[in-house]
Structure 1
């Protein structure tokens, strides 16, 4: 039983991988406990959004992902 967690943009550089698999069910606190402290600090910032199964969560701390679900961690997007 696992949840696929995708780290997009600079988050993947910080973690040195674009995806990890974590045990399900997965809460926000468990996610933060499963990544290095530097990554956890970035994830807690206001500008990082969280999507579960393609739906951006209004409150990322309400994350609760089940077996087979995908969580995407979305950093701010820049463009021009």
Structure 2
């Protein structure tokens, strides 16, 4: 991913070198396209991670309820003995 600072450096370097304006525009378009693709991929990964986190919370809740059931069964067994 290209940071704002890197993009600024590329522009300044191209301006100093007297780069053709069309080459500069093409390069900036490439950088923008790459940045957009990286942004979209990161957004997809964040959504997946958040979805997995929600599942982890649900599993933790389920584990807690199962522990409670086990404790009640142990109490019932001890009364039956």
Q: TM-score, normalised by structure 2?
A: 0.22
More strand per residue: 1 or 2?
Answer: 1
More helix per residue: 1 or 2?
Answer: 2
Structure possessing the higher radius of gyration over alpha carbons = 2
